């Protein structure tokens, strides 16, 4: 009997020592996502999870990759993504993978598909490279109940909207997003948003907002975003926080003070940001929201009425002068135009000049009216200041988010943020400008967004958590995409793992599509 027990003990030791990990990453400089200093360690992957961090014998793994001191971090989490339009057309999401992004949260700015759960089921049934979660959009909810009417909602309509938000939260939404700058969200009173936010909060969700204004009324918009969180009883976030228009530059000092004061009194406020001084949205951003009620047909009717057209034109001129145009039509660049593909990459000043007109703000406003009547464009607005950008980036509660999507490579002239956001932070703002440390930058891309969105199984390198990992060379990582030539992948990333599978290995895409749907805390 003693001999049998002895043999059994030997067998147990043999099984433990002979354990086969799927992948072993040796000699990595580990940035664990918490902001703590890096350390040298091996990381073993078994299945879809991190099995061990420390010193692991190479004989225990089927695949061994010696990192030679390269940085290894959790995969980056993009909490403000527009990946939805092209996720099925470009399931590899190479633009994201090549900058270390392994998870995206869609449905920002108040826009999401409805019915909500049906879309997530479609993503779950597809094969994609990245993990995919989603917010429920207030604008989409309001539009489904009220259309684009410019009026206050009734109690009955609010009840209908609350029911839609409740169902979306139960189906896996991470929270409620608002686009209070956009139609129809712009027509909603703050009280309506608070009523819907309370529902999201009941399920552990958060609120993110493309605020009502990011220019002249920026401070009022920040106050409203804070109020939604305070009265709604849930975390609230200034999304893609920025300061637009020359007369407003420097106001980030005030907005960050407001965030700190709100937190001091117990309001859970945070921020996300992309590292560019140009925004990207519809051409309709130059037009007053009241003129867009009822949709494109109603807008055209207003533009065809001389008195109303004059009122609209004055607003456009002001937005070129002090807002998104930053004082010059050359700062307004077309990314894509469905009615005329040749406009992509040109500026509003280029179009005005091509029509034989002096490049003045009134002439630019006239041309803008003509372009919008033809359907408008996706537009890039060069209207921000790098001092504000860096000040916001340094704030401890700011996380990095692209506000980009999954472009079809070579198509149109999109904002370079889709290709370069995370690499740009690591290259320009960590290595070159030293605005923040590498440890802190990685925290802003990993554990901070994971904790804010309650993604409990990712964002930190720790045994038992999912093996979403990015391996890169901090001395080489860089964004290559420019506003003139945006279709250029980021450089410096060597290996990227999603759920334990190598999607990028030795700087080459593998064809693996291991992405999964991520569900919010209220999923039933």
pLDDT digits (tens, 9 = 90+) for 468-493: 999 999 999 999 999 999 999 999 99
CB 143 within 8 A of CB 184: yes
Query: Which residue has better confidence, 262 or 57?
Result: 262
Encode pLDDT of 194-222 as tens digits. 999 999 999 999 999 999 999 999 999 99
Strand ranges (E), 7-106? 21-30, 39-46, 49-54, 61-66, 71-74, 76-78, 101-106
pLDDT score of 507 more than 80? yes
Distance CA 202, CA 320 (A): 42
Cα 183 to Cα 502: distance, rounded to the nearest angstrom = 41
CB-count burial class (<10 Å; 0-12, 13-18, 19+) for 457: middle
Other C-beta atoms closer than 10 Å to the C-beta of 57 total 14
DSSP states along 136-177: EEHHHHHHHHHTT--SPPPHHHHHHHHHHHHHHHHTT--EEE
Token duo for residue 146 = 């009220």
Tokens of 421: 């956001």
Q: What is the pLDDT of residue 13?
A: 34
Asked if 194 and 138 count as a contact pair (C-beta separation under 8 A), the reply is no
Judge contact between 102 and 130, C-beta under 8 A: yes
| Whole-number percent of the chain with pLDDT over 70 | 96
Distance CA 83, CA 524 (A): 25
Looking at residue 56, what is its pLDDT? 86
Q: Determine the pLDDT at residue 9.
A: 37
Q: Give the domains, in start order, of the chain with CATH numbers.
A: 21-108+401-453+460-512 (2.30.40.10), 135-238+248-274 (3.20.20.140), 283-382 (no CATH)
Rounded distance between C-alpha atoms, residue 29 and residue 472, angstroms: 10
Across the strands, what pairs with 87? none
- Report pLDDT for 225: 98
Q: List all residues 6 or more positions away from 179 whose beta carbon is below 8 Å from its beta carbon.
A: 108, 109, 110, 111, 137, 138, 139, 185, 209, 210
Can you tell me the mean pLDDT for 453-479? 98
Token digits of residue 217: 């009324």
Token pair for 467: 């093996």
Determine if the peptide bond prior to 115 is cis (ω within 30°).
yes
From 21, 199, 38, 102, select the one nearest 469 (Cα to Cα).
102
Query: Which letter, b or e, does each residue of 459-476 get, where b requires 16 or more Cβ atoms within 10 Å of its Cβ?
Result: bbbeeebbbbbbbbbbee
Residue 381: band (very low, low, confident or very high) from pLDDT cuts 50, 70, 90: very high
Is residue 179 a contact partner of residue 137, using CB atoms and an 8 Å limit? Answer: yes
What's the per-residue H, E or C state across 95-127?
HHHCCCEEEEEECCCCCCCCCHHHHHHHHHHCC
pTM for the whole thing?
0.95
d(CA 335, CA 379): 5
In the sheet that 131-134 helps form, which strands lie side by side, from edge to edge? 76-78, 101-106, 131-134
Say what the pLDDT of residue 59 is.
82
Does the pLDDT of residue 375 top 50, yes or no? yes
Give, for 319, the enclosing helix (H) or strand (E): helix 306-322
Q: What's the distance, CA 322 to chain centroid?
A: 26
Mean pLDDT of the chain: 95
Does the pLDDT at position 180 exceed 90? yes
Residue 8 has pLDDT above 90, yes or no: no
């Amino acid at each position: 009997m003693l001999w049998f027990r002895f043999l059994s003990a030997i067998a147990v030791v043999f099984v433990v020592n002979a354990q086969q990990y799927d992948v072993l990453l040796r000699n990595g400089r580990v940035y664990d996502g918490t902001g703590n200093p890096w350390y040298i360690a091996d990381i073993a992957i078994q299945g879809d999870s991190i099995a061990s961090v420390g010193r692991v014998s190479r004989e225990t793994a089927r695949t061994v990759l010696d990192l030679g001191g390269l940085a290894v971090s959790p995969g980056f989490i993009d909490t403000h993504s527009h990946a939805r339009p092209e996720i099925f057309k470009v399931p590899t999401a190479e633009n994201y993978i090549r900058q270390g992004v392994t998870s995206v949260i869609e449905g920002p700015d108040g826009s999401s598909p409805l019915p909500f759960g049906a879309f997530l089921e479609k993503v779950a049934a597809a094969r994609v490279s990245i993990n995919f979660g989603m917010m429920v959009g207030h604008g989409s909810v309001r539009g489904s109940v009220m259309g684009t009417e410019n009026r206050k909602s009734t109690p009955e309509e609010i009840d209908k909207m609350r029911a839609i938000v409740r169902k979306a939260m139960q189906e896996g939404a991470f929270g409620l997003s608002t686009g209070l700058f956009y139609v129809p969200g712009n027509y909603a009173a703050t009280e309506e948003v608070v009523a819907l936010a309370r529902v999201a909060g009941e399920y552990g969700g958060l609120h993110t907002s493309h605020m009502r204004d990011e220019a002249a009324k920026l401070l009022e918009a920040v106050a409203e975003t804070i109020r939604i969180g305070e009265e709604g009883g849930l975390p609230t976030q200034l999304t893609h926080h920025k300061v637009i228009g020359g007369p407003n530059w420097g106001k980030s000092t005030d907005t960050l003070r407001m965030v700190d004061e709100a937190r001091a009194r117990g309001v859970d406020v945070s921020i996300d940001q992309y590292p560019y001084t140009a925004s990207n949205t519809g051409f309709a951003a130059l037009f007053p929201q009241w003129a867009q009620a009822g949709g494109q047909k109603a807008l055209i009717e207003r533009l065809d009425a001389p008195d109303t057209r004059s009122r609209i034109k004055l607003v456009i001129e002001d937005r070129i002068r002090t807002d998104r145009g930053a004082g010059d039509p050359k700062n307004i660049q077309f990314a894509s135009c469905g009615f005329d593909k040749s406009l992509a990459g040109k500026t509003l000043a280029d179009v005005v000049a091509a029509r034989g007109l002096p490049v003045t703000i009134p002439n630019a406003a006239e041309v803008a009216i003509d372009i919008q009547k033809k359907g408008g464009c996706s537009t890039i607005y060069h209207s921000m200041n790098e001092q504000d950008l860096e000040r916001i980036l340094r704030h401890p509660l700011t996380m990095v988010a692209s506000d980009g999507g999954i472009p079809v490579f070579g198509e149109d002239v999109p904002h370079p943020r889709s290709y370069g956001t995370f690499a740009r932070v690591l290259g320009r703002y960590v290595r070159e400008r030293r605005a923040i440390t590498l440890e802190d930058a990685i925290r802003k891309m990993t554990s901070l967004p994971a904790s804010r969105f309650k993604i409990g199984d990712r964002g930190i390198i720790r045994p038992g958590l999912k093996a979403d990992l990015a391996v890169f060379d901090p001395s080489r990582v860089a964004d290559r995409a420019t506003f003139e030539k945006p279709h250029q992948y980021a450089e410096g990333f060597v290996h990227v793992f999603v759920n334990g599978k190598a999607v990028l290995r030795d700087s080459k895409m593998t064809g693996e599509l291991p992405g999964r749907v991520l569900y919010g805390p209220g999923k039933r």
